[in-house]
Chain A
Amino acid sequence: MQRATRDLCCARGSGLLLAAVAKGGMSLAVLLLGGVVQALAAPPTAEAAAAAERPALAEAVAGESGAAAASVAPGAVANSAAPQGPVAADASAPAQADAAQADAAQAYGRHQFDEAERNHWAFLPVVRPPLPEVQRTEWVQSPVDAFVLADLERHGLQPAPPADARTLLRRVYLDLIGLPPTPTEVEAFLENSSREALSLVVEELLSRPEYGERWARHWLDVVRYAESNGYERDGAKPNAWRYRDYVIQAFQQDKPYDRFVIEQLAGDELADTNAETQIATTFLRLGVWDDEPADPEVDRFDQLDDVLGVTASTFLAQTIRCARCHDHKFESFTQQDYYRLLAVFAPLKRPQDGRTDLDRFVGTPAELAAYQQQADELAARTAAARTALDQQEWSICRRLAEAGLLTATPGDDGLPDEALAALTAEPGQRSEAQRELAAKYRGRAKAIIEQHASAEERAALDRLQRELEDLRALRPPEPPRAYVWYEEGTPPATHLLARGDPKQPLAEVQPGLPAILVDRPPPPPEPTARTSGRRLALARWLVQPDHPLTARVMVNRIWQHHFGDGLVGSENDFGVMGELPTHPQLLDWLASEFVACGWSIKHMHRLMVLSSTYQMASCASEEVLQADPNNNRLTRFEARRLEAEAVRDCILYASGSLNRARGGPSVFPKISPAVLAGQSRPGNGWTVSDPHQAARRSIYVFVKRTLLVPELEVLDFPDTNNACEQRLVSTVATQALTYLNGEFVQKQASAFAARLMQELPGGPERDAARIERAFQLTLCRPPTAAELEAVLDFLQRQRAFFGGANSAPPPSTGNARASAVSADAADAATAAALRGLCLVLFNTNEFVYLH
């Protein structure tokens, strides 16, 4: 009922107005103002406003980057000024009916759209550009550099100088594995920091398991990874962690990205399907799930909307969900496109038992069949043994009853008449009620059997009992379980829904692809033995080498995590409303290289990390800041705050507590009772792990949708309800409180201080050494003289605080025991002072920034 006016949802507010003011100049702003006001005053004319916005983009780009502007087709402005074509059509019922007819004729493709829409940069084929000519050829270490430098030279800008070896090594480590280099590794690199040495370091880091753990986390952001369903019960998604391990392994083994895409979308539909590829499809089922939906029919479409939406944002970087209720107001997606894509996922079924979410066995068809056969056989044998045992018990009961030894007795612990009748009726002949009675009173009957059965009878019973037990031990090992959807039977018909309302179905649609991205309707999917083949068809289309989006979108994500921002700053939105690439040619070169090298992510890492662009210092002169304030031209390596997980992992590393165990079910670090009090059942769904388990890398921390670990949450752990393409960086006082006073950081500071005391025992004379060690383990460098002085002074005064109360000499004259006590007290004061230092180091800008 709330959807009645869905088609008004995109009347846009003030944002674009500002964009226009910022980029398009005043007259354009005035023009737009009119459009926006009109849209707001009379929402159905929002299209007009949308159309009016397009020239703003074109002009804005022209003002910023000639290269980017070139990708906007000439004539785009003129074309889009007049609303035409299906995108601009009003989403009223007659128009939908017309569109439905058009669909029935299967006549769809990019020809439906006007020239400007067809020529949107992201929909044009990737063309591999030649490496541009540059003047400073010695700066070019990687093809990446040629594009970046050519652009800088065109803008009359200079790249920043290279970062020093120590900074570079820390950067590469944190970026690739999310942990800092050890002091030994730093020393070795300082001795030889040549290009070859760096190349070896990068190669070695890429081969480490920690690399997979680091980069898998980036992917988990995009796919809204969480291990619980949200809502009232926020139930756990059983075995969802196997998907996390799958992603870690995929990065670790450099699984070709095309295969990675196919497995996640359709790993169960492959000819060579197996446990791993089926686990990959957990991707489709990671969304929120209301186990008590307000309206089950609407909820079903909400679930599919989540699957469709995350698929479109992850692989296509398109915001297609807007077309659920009407043609997209800004992008070239019709409501037809939405439901065609929905039909791809419509056959998916959720394994559930009422409100309980279930997992499923995974494996090759042969493995699963073999297990099933074994299990069936065993079940049959067990049933037979069970029957034999029942039969034997019955025959004894009957004999005892005939002998008057088994009789009905009154009372609470007696045997009622009907129970006796049930026990003495032949098992095969018992009524339903009798079966229940026989089961209920079996124990009582057995007590009497024990008392009166003959030795022969007893031996027979024992033999049958043993047989049953033996069978139980024969249970075949279960295949792994995974949190996946499944398909079964004939796919349901999918209809276009008027305004997204399931109660208003319109024409039936067939599974298909967004029209703007195809020349003609794709052939119908080929069903496999077990599935509809729809997702596989979609996945295969996505990974066609000439697909304009798949490779661009992924190389942009890889770039983003090395450099902080994608070349396209809106990493999940390559649409008209998204940003334009700052370096379109570089983006296309990388996309083409990605496909050409066999979709190797590690190859892309090497191209990016072993570039002068990546190795620049994180500094900028005032002039450069004026010319390139947002670093769009890549004049420097832009420093950025580490993600919450990396900060936590680096703290655990420094304190010596980090547990490097890999994979398996997630862990539950302790959460303070004050935080748990926010739950309706405090502590529910959070069984605290022991401290050693809790000290595992943050990627192994259970992601519960309604309860996040505070030290991760305050540093902008992503919202898991939706795809997160880029972490926010908020700076709030609660971060300071959590990282100064919170239990986690306090404990780690204590452990770090204890580690320093243990490694460097003794009195204040070891302070300088301890400080140096503390700096090495946190900042990967020794302190400067000024820093050393400041910290020594701090320790001195803190020690006075902590020793203050006990600083008077012990009353007895200097016997050994008293001096030991005194030494202990001094050590305790030193440790307490050091704890303060450790806490401070964890909070320094240098520690929490990648620079």
Chain B
Amino acid sequence: MPEQRESTITGTRRLTPCGRTRREFIWDAGGGFVGTALAWLLGHDGFFGNAVHAAPLNPLAPKQPHFAPRARSCIFLFMYGGPSQVDLFDPKPELARRTGEPMPNLDADPLFKVRNPGNLMGAKHAFLRCGQSGLEISDLYPMLGRCADDMAIIRSCYADSFAHGSGLLQMNTGFIRQGHPSLGSWVSYGLGTENQDLPAFVVFLDPRGGPIGGAPNWGAGFMPAAYQGTQFRTTGDPLIDLSPPGGLSRAQQREQLDLLARLDDLSPAVISRQDELAARLATYELAFRMQVHAPEAVDLSQETAETQALYGLDNPTTEPFGTRLLMARRLIERGVRFVQVYSGGGHNDENWDAHGNVNANHELHCAETDRPIYALLTDLKRRGLLDETLVVWGGEFGRTPTSQGTQGGRDHNPRGFSMWMAGGGIRGGQAYGATDEFGYAARENKVHVHDLHATILHLMGLNHELLTYFHGGRDMRLTDVAGRVVHELIA
């Protein structure tokens, strides 16, 4: 254990008691996803010939996990807006039976009561018994149902906020307060990444818009920016500002970079920080190389027609999400550690936030995601990647079993909701935990967001209690002072 702890993460960060070093920090914060290459470049050029300076440490160099991981990488499918558990993964006959009756015991939950819930409303769509396990999944997700034996549905999730903003922050960062690093940042910080030409943590947003709250949802919070999520786009350059504007050719930019290197070299300015300066220069070379690597990584023309069709790229309904998932698969194949893909963007029915009409809303969003998710799981499996890739599906909260408005909408509900995981060490074909008879609040084997995070970290080989970052006078964790690994989910 002690050896493991020493080998984690911060090891070299804290050369001083305060928890922060300055001179070495460039190597901690520096490099971004290019750090190892930097170290290589610099080492190659003899910059580290003397041992005076602290050894260069790439923050994103692959690191030893705390214990043997079950998953090498993670794809988090974020159903932004809050998908309805009682319509998708948590069948409730009692709710259907008592449709139209008022919700009993409202006084027990004042924060819910003030939202003036309507009457109970059962699911319109049927639940089907899927796979050999007979796991019940709504017919809104017919193709996904075929993957039931790989899926562990957690029906007893709960979170702390009724609002999108703080709910998204909590699902992404563990805290309803803004300012904490996101799950992907913690994983990048803990494990580094295996391909230094690509970011460790990639985020695909929905073309309809980002989620409420924007960038802090994939931000590094109080950690260095090297750990924040990098947005990839599905049209044009995958990264913002990747290519020079105005048709400047690669040869011309090459000349600019050559001049930059020449001027940096010729500069008569006396600056003692040779390592920092060299690091800066090296990032320009790496940026130049990324102009080739990043587009290649998401070049779907390299995929067969069969694969493209599998992800639904030939259908306008499934094409946008299918494109993002196929790109996600290509990225994790290339060593990207954590990919988050949003389904839904902007506001209300542009995402899963079904206040108006839950059936219309979910019919749309399920149709958009059903085939692509089925394709992702199938494709990962046939490539032998599912075992080492953890796929997580869920939103920032679920929805009420009660109706809202006149068209059969549902309101936000953090008290109980469903998520599922597959691959990466998960024992599929099971439903874990339970909500009450209406599907409102988690009752059995409750799984808080912290528990989800603890479990995800565990599957990736990280102990959530040891994965710490010193900030504001204490060692901060993704799971605050809580978190339980849900071992029952694990094969």
Contacts and interface: CB of A to CB of B under 8 A. Distances in A.
Interface string A30-65: 000100110010000000000000001100100000
Nearest to A723: B472
Contacts of A322: 472-474
B384 interface: no
Given A680-B346, A731-B280, A746-B246, A60 B166 contact: no
Interface string B469-491: 01111110100111000000000
B212 interface: yes
A680 B212 contact: yes
B16 A167 contact: no
A747 B223 CA distance: 32
A790 B259 contact: yes
B108 interface: no
Interface in A282-316: 288, 290, 292-295, 302, 309
Given A232-B163, A729-B29, A845 B474 contact: no
B149 interface: no
Contacts of B243: 741
Nearest to A738: B241
Contacts of A849: 269, 271, 273, 277
Contact of B256 (A23, A295, A742, A839): A839
A721 B475 contact: no
Interface string B277-289: 1011101101110
A452 B166 CA distance: 61
Given A295-B160, A784-B268, A790-B266, A630 B30 contact: no
A729 B345 CA distance: 33
A832 B22 CA distance: 40
Contact of A565 (B22, B26, B53): B22
A840 B161 CA distance: 49
Contacts of B225: 713-714, 716, 728, 730, 732
A740 interface: yes
Contact of B53 (A290, A331, A577, A629): A629
A72 interface: no
B222 interface: yes
A661 to B, nearest CB: 28
Contacts of B253: 740
Contacts of A319: 472-474
A606 B193 CA distance: 48
Interface stretch (B7-15, B118-126, B401-409): B7-15
Q: Secondary structure at chain B's binding surface: helix, strand, loop or mixed?
A: loop
Contact of A851 (B30, B163, B179, B271): B271
Contacts, number: 385
B166 A577 contact: no
Interface string B209-229: 111111110000110111000
Given A9-B481, A737-B240, A732 B30 contact: yes
A82 to B, nearest CB: 21
A709 to B, nearest CB: 12
A555 B5 CA distance: 38
Contact of B226 (A56, A233, A302, A732): A732
Contacts of A9: 474-475, 477, 480-481
A625 B49 CA distance: 13
A707 B209 CA distance: 14
B32 to A, nearest CB: 3
Interface stretch (A403-411, A504-512, A793-801): A793-801
A616 to B, nearest CB: 10
A454 interface: no
Nearest to B263: A844
Interface string B99-134: 000000000000100000000000000000000000
Nearest to B414: A294
Interface string A303-344: 000000100000000010110000011110000000000000
A128 B97 CA distance: 81
B334 to A, nearest CB: 16
A735 B239 CA distance: 12
Given A292-B166, A741-B243, A19 B17 contact: yes
B287 A577 contact: no
A710 interface: yes
A106 interface: no
A547 to B, nearest CB: 21
A10 interface: yes
Contact of A731 (B16, B30, B251, B270): B30
A56 B244 CA distance: 52
Interface stretch (A266-274, A379-387, A633-641): A633-641
B287 to A, nearest CB: 4
Centre residue among A8, A234, A706, A743 by max chain B CB count within 10 A: A706
A78 interface: no
Contacts of B444: none
Contacts of A570: 18-20
Nearest to B207: A677
Nearest to A638: B272
A571 to B, nearest CB: 10
B48 interface: no
Contact of A734 (B230, B255, B448): B230
A116 interface: no
Contacts of A836: 252, 255-256, 259
Given A14-B6, A851-B269, A680 B30 contact: no
Contact of B266 (A8, A735, A786, A797): A786
B17 A60 contact: yes
A167 B267 CA distance: 12
A579 B8 CA distance: 23
B283 A15 contact: no
Interface in B148-194: 160-167, 169, 176-179
A86 interface: no
B266 A787 contact: yes
A14 B10 contact: yes
B304 interface: no
A270 to B, nearest CB: 31
A136 B347 CA distance: 70
B2 interface: yes
Centre residue among A328, A733, A740 by max chain B CB count within 10 A: A733
A617 to B, nearest CB: 6
Interface in A636-683: 636, 638-641, 672, 674-675, 677-682
Contact of A618 (B9, B272, B474): B272
B302 interface: no
Interface of B: 1-2, 5-6, 8-20, 22-23, 25-26, 29-34, 38, 50, 52-54, 111, 160-167, 169, 176-179, 205, 207, 209-216, 221-222, 224-226, 230-231, 233, 236, 239-246, 249, 251-253, 255-256, 258-260, 262-264, 266-273, 276-277, 279-281, 283-284, 286-288, 290, 345-347, 414, 448, 450, 465-466, 468, 470-475, 477, 480-482
Interchain residue pairs A-B with the least CB separation, the first 8: A319-B473, A232-B165, A721-B179, A732-B32, A294-B161, A730-B29, A15-B14, A570-B18
16 contacts: A2-B480, A9-B475, A14-B6, A16-B17, A19-B14, A167-B270, A288-B179, A719-B222, A730-B225, A731-B32, A731-B280, A732-B34, A741-B244, A794-B255, A797-B255, A845-B269
Given A290-B163, A728-B25, A738-B241, 19 more contacts: A2-B448, A2-B480, A5-B482, A6-B481, A15-B468, A16-B17, A232-B163, A294-B167, A569-B22, A625-B50, A677-B207, A714-B225, A730-B29, A730-B32, A731-B30, A733-B286, A791-B263, A801-B251, A845-B267
Interface of A: 1-19, 22-23, 33, 36-37, 40, 56-57, 60, 163, 167, 230-234, 288, 290, 292-295, 302, 309, 319, 321-322, 328-331, 564-565, 569-570, 573, 575, 577-579, 617-620, 622, 625-626, 629-631, 636, 638-641, 672, 674-675, 677-682, 705-708, 710, 713-714, 716, 719, 721-722, 726, 728-738, 740-743, 746, 779, 781, 784, 786-787, 790-791, 794, 797-798, 801, 836-837, 839-841, 843-846, 848-849, 851
